[in-house]
């Protein structure tokens, strides 16, 4: 089931949460909505779920082409997993999972046995069948998360929506669980949107990433697309480290014949630390002169902090440790920098 949203607007008093947002999630995909807090991503998810309604007169929400804009949450067949799980603490794990089926109208309600069977099957699916009789307070964070998922799936939702699904977990559990979610999604093939502020999480498991900032969608694309070809300075800065350099300084720094050759010497150039090549200064005339100020060699890569000779700008460079060994660098050495790939967002520069 595909999900579409067209030109959604939402204001809370003076605060604008969504300012004309469009979204298109194809059937069966796992899509991440990524953005800093306050960017409107959770509001978007809640409007899709029917927990919140877009401002009157604005926008539509379509599930598989059907307009659900005015349907309340309970009638949309969405599975929603809350950031803090929102488990019913007076009910056992089993009762939590069965809840959605038990509150159905009599003619739609499965038999007691069918409900029990379905609940147990779901608990098996999320690998918690042994804990059916426990109460939420007796579970770990990761287990609660999976109960919340099983509970959402019990009502046979057409789409699955997760609000910061790993936000409340500690780092290790978080990593395990997000990989598990990816495999789980591949198994059940349910159209899924999850909201996160963690770029690593979004880039690792999503088929497609929707990046939001200040009530707008900044960019939509596969993780590789958004990382390699960011559509805006915001996306560049939000997804990983970036150097922002004044363009004139780079007039002679580009590799000859490189794809990013740009006659425009005004404005700013965005370049990722690992897209900068370092060579000894005496190697040739082209490139940018810089002085090594600091070397961090701990970790998988070496990070160099350099100061440009011409402009005194700070530049961060990431190179492999073997490269560092080959260069045999020390603090205050003079080197030459070349940009393998860079980007400019000046108005007349089209992507």
Partner 1 sequence: MASAIATALPARPGHAPTPRANRDPAWARWLLTAVALAFLAFFLVLPIVVVFAQAFAKGGAYFLAAVREPDALAAIRLTLLTVAIVVPANVVFGVAAAWAISKFKFTGKSLLTTLIDLPFAVSPVIAGLIYVLIFGAQGWFGPWLIAHNIRVIFAVPGIVLATTFVTFPFVARELIPLMQAQGTDEEYSAVTLGASGWQTFWRVTLPNIRWGLFYGVILCNARAMGEFGAVSVVSGHIRGETNTMPLHVEILYNEYNIAGAFAVASLLALLALATLVVKSAVEWRQTGSA
Partner 2 sequence: MSPTALPPRRGTYPPSFRTMSSARSSRSILPGFGLSLGFTLAYLGLIVLVPLSAAFLKTAGMGLHEFAAVVASPRVVAAYKLSFGASLAAGFVNMVFGLVVAWVLVRYPFPGRKLVDALVDLPFALPTAVAGIALTSLYSSNGWVGRWLAPLGIRVAFTWTGVFVALTFIGLPFVVRTVQPVLQELEPDIEEASSTLGANRLQTIVRILIPQLMPSLLTGFALAFARALGEYGSVVFISGNMPMRTEIVPLLIITKLEQYDYRGATAIAVVMLVSSFVLLLLINLLQKWSRRYHAI
In the complex, the residues that contact partner 1 under the rule CB under 8 A are 12-13, 15, 17, 36-39, 46, 50-53, 72-73, 214, 234, 237-238, 240-246, 273, 313-316
Cβ burial of 62 (10 Å; 0-12, 13-18, 19+) is middle
Distance of alpha carbon 180 from alpha carbon 219, whole angstroms: 26
Residue 216 binds: one of partner 2, partner 1, none (C-beta under 5 to 8 A by kind)? none
Counting contacts by CB under 8 A, is residue 88 touching partner 2? yes
Q: In DSSP terms, which residues pair with 64 in a beta bridge?
A: none
> How crowded is residue 240: how many other Cβ atoms within 10 Å of its Cβ?
14
CB nearer to partner 1: pick between 2 and 16: 16
Residue 75 binds: one of partner 1, partner 2, none (C-beta under 5 to 8 A by kind)? partner 2
Q: In DSSP terms, which residues pair with 339 in a beta bridge?
A: 254, 276
Choices 79-87, 116-124, 211-219, 263-271; region in contact with partner 2 by CB under 8 A: 79-87
Among 154, 203, 335, 337, binds partner 2 (CB under 8 A): 154
Q: In DSSP terms, which residues pair with 132 in a beta bridge?
A: none
Asked if 302 contacts 320 with a C-beta cutoff of 8 angstroms, the reply is yes
For residue 294 the two structure tokens come to 């600091």
The structure tokens 């960019």 sit at 219
Counting contacts by CB under 8 A, is residue 136 touching partner 2? yes
Residue 304 binds: one of partner 2, partner 1, none (C-beta under 5 to 8 A by kind)? none
CB of 47 to partner 1, least distance (A): 10
Choices 114-122, 148-156, 295-303, 324-332; region in contact with partner 2 by CB under 8 A: 148-156
CB nearer to partner 2: pick between 73 and 247: 73
CB nearer to partner 1: pick between 120 and 214: 214
> How crowded is residue 325: how many other Cβ atoms within 10 Å of its Cβ?
11
CA triple 136-137-140, angle to 5 deg: 80
Counting contacts by CB under 8 A, is residue 87 touching partner 2? yes
336: phi then psi, degrees, rounded to nearest 5: -120, 135
Residue 86 binds: one of partner 1, partner 2, none (C-beta under 5 to 8 A by kind)? partner 2
Among 30, 33, 45, 51, binds partner 2 (CB under 8 A): 51
Distance of alpha carbon 71 from alpha carbon 79, whole angstroms: 15
Counting contacts by CB under 8 A, is residue 64 touching partner 2? no
> How crowded is residue 184: how many other Cβ atoms within 10 Å of its Cβ?
20
Counting contacts by CB under 8 A, is residue 72 touching partner 2? yes
CB nearer to partner 2: pick between 49 and 271: 49
Choices 49-57, 115-123, 171-179, 298-306; region in contact with partner 2 by CB under 8 A: 49-57
The DSSP secondary-structure symbol of 351 reads -
Cβ burial of 313 (10 Å; 0-12, 13-18, 19+) is middle
Counting contacts by CB under 8 A, is residue 100 touching partner 2? yes
Q: Which residues contact 179 (CB under 8 A, 6 or more apart)?
A: 204, 205
Closest of 200, 211, 207, 201 to residue 177, by C-alpha: 201
Distance of alpha carbon 44 from alpha carbon 339, whole angstroms: 38
Choices 99-107, 212-220, 234-242, 328-336; region in contact with partner 2 by CB under 8 A: 99-107
Contacts with partner 2 by CB under 8 A lie at 49-51, 72-76, 78-80, 82-84, 86-90, 99-100, 103-104, 136-137, 151-152, 154-155
């Amino acid at each position: 089931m595909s999900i579409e949203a067209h030109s959604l607007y939402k204001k809370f008093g003076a605060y604008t949460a969504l300012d004309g947002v469009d979204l298109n999630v194809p059937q069966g995909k796992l899509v991440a909505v990524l953005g800093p807090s306050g960017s409107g991503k959770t509001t978007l998810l809640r409007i899709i779920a029917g927990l919140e309604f877009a401002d009157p007169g604005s926008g539509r929400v379509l599930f598989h082409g059907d307009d659900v804009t005015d349907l309340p949450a309970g009638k949309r067949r969405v599975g929603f997993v809350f950031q803090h799980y929102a488990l019913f603490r007076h009910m056992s794990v089993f009762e939590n999972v069965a809840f959605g089926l038990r509150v159905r109208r009599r003619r739609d309600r499965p038999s007691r046995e069918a409900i029990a069977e379905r609940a147990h099957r779901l608990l098996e699916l999320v690998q918690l069948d042994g804990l059916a009789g426990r109460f939420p307070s007796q579970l770990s964070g990761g287990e609660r998360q999976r109960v919340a998922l099983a509970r959402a799936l019990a009502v046979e939702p057409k789409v699955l929506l997760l609000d910061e699904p790993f936000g409340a977990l500690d780092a290790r559990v978080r990593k395990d669980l997000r990989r598990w979610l990816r495999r789980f999604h591949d198994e059940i093939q349910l159209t899924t949107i999850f909201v996160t502020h963690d770029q690593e999480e979004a880039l690792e498991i999503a088929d497609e990433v929707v990046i939001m900032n200040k009530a707008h969608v900044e960019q939509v694309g596969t993780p590789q697309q958004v990382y390699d070809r960011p559509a805006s300075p915001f996306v560049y800065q939000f997804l990983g480290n970036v150097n922002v350099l004044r363009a004139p300084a780079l007039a002679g720094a580009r590799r000859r014949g490189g794809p990013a050759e740009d006659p425009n010497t005004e404005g700013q150039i965005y370049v990722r630390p690992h897209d900068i090549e370092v060579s000894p200064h005496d190697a040739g005339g082209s490139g940018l002169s810089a002085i090594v100020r600091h070397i961090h060699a701990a970790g998988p890569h070496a990070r160099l902090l350099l100061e440009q000779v011409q402009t005194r700008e700070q530049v961060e460079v990431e190179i492999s440790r073997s490269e560092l060994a080959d260069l045999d660098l020390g603090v205050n050495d003079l080197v030459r920098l070349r940009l393998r790939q860079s980007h400019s967002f000046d108005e007349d520069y089209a992507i």
